[in-house]
Amino acid sequence: AQKITQTQPGMFVQEKEAVTLDCTYDTSDQSYGLFWYKQPSSGEMIFLIYQGSYDEQNATEGRYSLNFQKARKSANLVISASQLGDSAMYFCAMREGSFGNEKLTFGTGTRLTIIP
Amino acid sequence: DTAVSQTPKYLVTQMGNDKSIKCEQNLGHDTMYWYKQDSKKFLKIMFSYNNKELIINETVPNRFSPKSPDKAHLNLHINSLELGDSAVYFCASSQVGASGRDEQYFGPGTRLTVT
């Protein structure tokens, strides 16, 4: 079974609208971390937001928020007031393992295109 | 003051050659990683090192040999390059913070093309 599933290969969104990128995960660990990364066309991987499995509040970082539903094993990224510069690939990732033995497993990504 | 740097950024070489990619981080992190991103953009971990010690080796062919001379550097040497090795290789580093947060910071990537 896939550990990280991103079901939206591509999305088109009008500028200034909010957008939700879906991510579901599968793990039997009690302690894990969930991450979202952005990869623009220039190729670098940019860390956006983190949610720990024990965090009770949803994480927020500026226009990014993570809608964490632990029972449903979902960790959707919400981008508010989208901008043209948000056009990029977005990857959801899960960290498993203990100190020094961590590894990230990535989803297949969602290509987001913001339409002016 | 680049956090994670990789050299070279582009590498074009012929099948059968041996090449190396270098990675350095100035974040003081204990753990470093190599990832491979294929043509479909799928990212997969290859190796991780913690304080110069190999921790994760994800069924990578033994033509790939990582080396960590110190905890700020993790290099990747590839022997007998094959066409299927063409990909973007990312180095990353991380450190667990007091809150348990441990995001990985990625280098700019090295695009390897084998002809």
- For residues B86 and B22, give the distance between their C-alpha atoms in angstroms, rounded to a whole number: 17
The confidence score (pLDDT) of residue A71 equals 94
Q: Which amino acid is at B88?
A: V
Instruction: Indicate yes or no: CB of B99 within 8 angstroms of CB of A52.
Output: yes
Question: Nearest C-alpha of chain B: how many angstroms from A62?
Answer: 17
Instruction: Please tell me if residue B77 touches chain A, with a CB cutoff of 8 Å.
Output: no
Token pair of B107, please? Answer: 């280098």
> Using one digit for the tens of pLDDT, what is the confidence trace for B19-68?
999 999 999 998 999 999 999 999 999 999 988 888 888 878 999 999 99
Taking alpha carbons only, the member of B92, B89, B88 closest to residue B107 is B92
The confidence score (pLDDT) of residue B10 equals 97
- Asked whether the beta carbons of A87 and A114 are under 8 A apart, the reply is yes
Instruction: Please tell me if residue B105 touches chain A, with a CB cutoff of 8 Å.
Output: yes
The confidence score (pLDDT) of residue B3 equals 92
pLDDT classification of A103: cutoffs 50, 70, 90: confident
Taking alpha carbons only, the member of A4, A15, A3 closest to residue A82 is A15
- For residues A24 and A8, give the distance between their C-alpha atoms in angstroms, rounded to a whole number: 11
The confidence score (pLDDT) of residue B102 equals 81
A-chain residues near B96 (CB < 8 A): 99, 102
Q: Which amino acid is at A59?
A: A
The confidence score (pLDDT) of residue A96 equals 82
The confidence score (pLDDT) of residue B98 equals 63
